[in-house]
Amino acid sequence: MAKKNKTAITPTREQDYPAWYQEVIKVSDMAENSPVRGCMVIKPWGYALWENMVREIDAMFKETGVKNAYFPLFIPLSYLEKEAEHVEGFAKECAVVTHHKLEKDDKGGLKPAGKLAEPLIVRPTSETIIGESMAKWTSSYRDLPILLNQWANVVRWEMRTRMFLRTSEFLWQEGHTAHATEQEAKERTMLMLDVYTKFVEEYLAMPVIRGRKTVSERFPGADDTTCIEAMMQDKRALQAGTSHFLGQNFAKGSNIKFQNEEGEEAYAWTTSWGTSTRMIGGMIMVHSDDDGLVLPPRVASAHVVILPIFKKDGDNRAVKESAQDLKDALEEKQYHGRNVTVEIDDRDIGGARGWDWVKKGVPVRIELGPRDMAQNSVFMARRDEPSSQKQSMNREEFIGQITDILDNIQDNLFNRAKNYREENTFEIDDKKAFYKLYKKARGFDNGAFVMAHWCGSEECEEKIKKDLSVTIRCIPFDSSTEEGNCICCNNASSRRVLFAKAY
Question: Which residues contact RNA by CB under 7 A?
Answer: 1-2, 4-8, 18, 33, 37-38, 89, 92-93, 156, 158-161, 165-168, 170, 172, 219, 239, 242, 274, 276-278, 291, 309-310, 312, 348-352, 354-355, 359, 367-372, 379, 386-390, 469
Instruction: Compare residues 165 and 497 and give the one whose CB is closer to RNA.
Output: 165
Shortest distance, position 354 Cβ to RNA, whole Å: 6
Shortest distance, position 235 Cβ to RNA, whole Å: 17
Instruction: Compare residues 59 and 318 and give the one whose CB is closer to RNA.
Output: 318
As a dihedral over the C-alpha atoms of residue 220, residue 496, residue 194, residue 416, rounded to 10 degrees, the angle is: 120
Number of H helices, E strands in the chain: 14, 27
DSSP annotation of 217 reads G
Shortest distance, position 112 Cβ to RNA, whole Å: 14
Instruction: Compare residues 141 and 499 and give the one whose CB is closer to RNA.
Output: 499
Question: Is-contact 274 226, C-beta < 8 A?
Answer: no
Work out the widest C-alpha separation in the chain, in whole angstroms.
87
Question: Is-contact 372 304, C-beta < 8 A?
Answer: no
Instruction: Compare residues 258 and 398 and give the one whose CB is closer to RNA.
Output: 398
Instruction: Compare residues 56 and 372 and give the one whose CB is closer to RNA.
Output: 372
Of 203, 205, 277, 200, the closest CA to residue 42 belongs to 277
Q: What are the φ and ψ backbone dihedral angles of 348, each rounded to 5 degrees?
A: -95, 70
Residues 6+ apart with CB under 8 A from 43: 29, 30, 31, 32
Question: Is-contact 477 228, C-beta < 8 A?
Answer: no
Residue type, 284: I
Q: In 39-126, which ranges are continuous DSSP H helix?
A: 44-63, 77-80, 84-90
Question: Is-contact 270 148, C-beta < 8 A?
Answer: no
Q: In 64-167, which ranges are continuous DSSP H helix?
A: 77-80, 84-90, 127-137
Shortest distance, position 454 Cβ to RNA, whole Å: 19
Shortest distance, position 386 Cβ to RNA, whole Å: 6
CA distance 303 to 431: 48
Instruction: Compare residues 100 and 311 and give the one whose CB is closer to RNA.
Output: 311
Instruction: Compare residues 135 and 238 and give the one whose CB is closer to RNA.
Output: 238
Shortest distance, position 367 Cβ to RNA, whole Å: 4
Instruction: Compare residues 112 and 337 and give the one whose CB is closer to RNA.
Output: 112
Shortest distance, position 92 Cβ to RNA, whole Å: 6
CA distance 108 to 149: 45
Of 20, 448, 497, the closest CA to residue 235 belongs to 448
Q: Report the half-sphere exposure of 68 (CA within 13 A, side-chain side).
A: 14
Shortest distance, position 98 Cβ to RNA, whole Å: 16
Shortest distance, position 322 Cβ to RNA, whole Å: 11
**Positive/negative CA dihedral, 49, 50, 55, 56:** positive
Shortest distance, position 315 Cβ to RNA, whole Å: 12
Instruction: Compare residues 177 and 276 and give the one whose CB is closer to RNA.
Output: 276
Instruction: Compare residues 32 and 422 and give the one whose CB is closer to RNA.
Output: 32
Complete DSSP assignment for 394-462:
EHHHHHHHHHHHHHHHHHHHHHHHHHHHHHTEEE---HHHHHHHHHT-BTTB---EEEEE--S-HHHHH
CB atoms within 10 A of CB 263: 7
